[in-house]
Amino acid sequence: MHVTAIIAAGGRGQRFGAAEPKQLLTVGGRPILERSVSAFLSHASVNDVVVVLPQELVDNPPAYLRSAEAVALHGSAKPLRLVAGGARRRDSVANGFHAAGHSELIVIHDAARPFVSADLIARTIAAAAESGAALAALPARDTVKQGRDHFVGATLPRETIFLAQTPQAFRRSVLADALELADDATDEAALAERAGHQVRLVTGEASNIKITTPDDLVLAEAIAQAGKHDAIAVPVGTGRAGMGYDLHRLVAGRPLILGGVTIPSDVGALGHSDADVVCHAITDAILGAAGHGDIGRHFPDADPRWKDAPSLDLLARAAQMVAAQGFEVGNVDVTVLLERPKIRDHVDAMRQAVATALGIDAARVSIKGKTNEGVDAIGRGEAIAAHAVALVRSR
């Protein structure tokens, strides 16, 4: 699926009161606009980026938006186009939409939200690809009051209130319907709703703030400084190792899928997805190496989206997540613990399937099988497990 990101930076920041557009201001040593553009240029799920700017910035863009400089700075040769904004937000997004060509999915992000994470971008894109439209939003934490003439008119159920953020993502046809409306709105999700489309909620991030007033800059600086201390500082070319482990019971009536390959067997692994222990262990290993948590955080078994999901797809998504953080997979090594059947005849096919999902050569994938010598549930043929080690390195 071809995905185009539109960075909405056409405003002049009049509410902010600065001498220049707020998106050009610096936070944590980097321009706000550069942070937002970089998040999408470097994301593995995004194919190209359109930045909507005031006309004078299109005519004379900052260096990080000029093609050669952008490639050097962001490490990406993805197409980067600049278009002029319109009088209203809707007009600016429409200009960006027309510049997006025939992309199948459009993701829109406010330039004034410079701390959007790769994970939030990936989750919003995935939700829109499945449901047609999606937006990042935070559930309200405080009791919500509706005011009327300086008095409380009503108390609204907090569990029904969500605070909209960006990114917001749409299949092309949905966004086209939304932009055909003459209505104005503060975000594209509202237009999609008015056009009759359901918009899916994706849990947003508290750090994904929008810089609107000078007070917001104070919080933004704090987030930027915290990020410098919390982020994984990895010199280019160095590596990080991660370990993964997975275990499933074996039951009759389930296919036995390992490394994306169906192995002839009377029993298969029981799980919410296809229970591929090889892919699950590798996924945990590469996520762990990049400091991204574990498979349950990103693909929880309580989420119906992952019911019977091919684990090769989950592995590919995980590889995209770590790629968006500036890492590439160096190599992986997996040991499968299974009493029977023997997997030696299927190892090459498994290595190739895993390598394709990771975007690396099969020579960098090792898979081997061991028995448990009749010991415990694995030895009795009641379970299967896998251990994995992955090396990721900065690009």
- CATH number of the domain residue 12 falls in: 3.90.550.10
63 C-beta neighbours (distance < 10 Å), count = 12
Do 170 and 120 reside in the same domain of the chain? yes
Do 225 and 243 reside in the same domain of the chain? no
Nearest to 274 by CA among 133, 351, 384, 188: 384
**pLDDT at res. 232:** 43
Pick from 186, 202, 230: which residue ends a domain? Answer: 230
Nearest to 239 by CA among 178, 322, 163: 322
Quick one: tokens of 223? 């987030």
**pLDDT at res. 291:** 84
Pick from 160, 195, 230: which residue ends a domain? Answer: 230
Phi/psi of residue 382, each to 5°?
Answer: -95, -10
- CA quadruple 164, 176, 320, 75: dihedral positive or negative? negative
Pick from 230, 255, 284: which residue ends a domain? Answer: 230
Do 166 and 254 reside in the same domain of the chain? no
**pLDDT at res. 379:** 94
From CA 7, how far away is CA 380, in angstroms rounded? 56
**pLDDT at res. 192:** 95
From CA 195, how far away is CA 388, in angstroms rounded? 48
Quick one: tokens of 243? 């370990």
Number of domains in the chain: 2
DSSP state of 149: T
Q: Can you give the residue range of the structural domain that contains 160?
A: 3-230
Do 131 and 163 reside in the same domain of the chain? yes
**pLDDT at res. 72:** 42
Do 273 and 388 reside in the same domain of the chain? yes
Do 258 and 152 reside in the same domain of the chain? no
Beta strands 239-252 and 261-263, pairing class: unpaired
Do 7 and 101 reside in the same domain of the chain? yes
Beta strands in 232-326 (DSSP E): 239-252, 256-258, 261-263, 267-269
**pLDDT at res. 297:** 83
**pLDDT at res. 370:** 95
**pLDDT at res. 125:** 95
Burial label, 147 (beta-carbon count in 10 A; 0-12, 13-18, 19+): exposed
Do 71 and 182 reside in the same domain of the chain? yes
Residue-by-residue DSSP string for 162-225: EEEEEEEEEEHHHHHHHHHS----SSHHHHHHHTT---EEEE--TT-----SHHHHHHHHHHHH
CB 132, CB 177: distance < 8 Å? no
**pLDDT at res. 17:** 58
Do 216 and 245 reside in the same domain of the chain? no
Alpha carbon 248 to its chain's center: 27
Helix or strand or coil: residue 184?
A: coil
**pLDDT at res. 136:** 95
Do 132 and 161 reside in the same domain of the chain? yes
CATH number of domain containing 328:
3.30.1330.50
Do 279 and 159 reside in the same domain of the chain? no
What does the pLDDT profile of the chain (395 residues) look like in tens digits?
899 999 999 876 555 655 677 888 999 888 999 999 999 988 888 999 999 999 999 999 988 887 644 544 444 568 899 999 998 888 999 999 999 988 999 999 999 999 999 989 999 999 999 999 999 999 887 888 899 888 999 999 988 999 999 999 999 999 999 999 978 888 999 999 999 999 999 999 888 999 988 888 888 888 887 665 444 444 445 578 999 999 999 999 999 999 999 999 999 999 988 999 999 999 999 999 988 888 888 888 887 878 888 999 999 988 888 877 678 899 999 999 999 999 999 999 999 999 999 988 898 999 999 999 999 999 999 999 999 999 998 76
Please give the helix or strand (H or E) that residue 53 lies within, else none.
strand 48-53
Do 92 and 131 reside in the same domain of the chain? yes
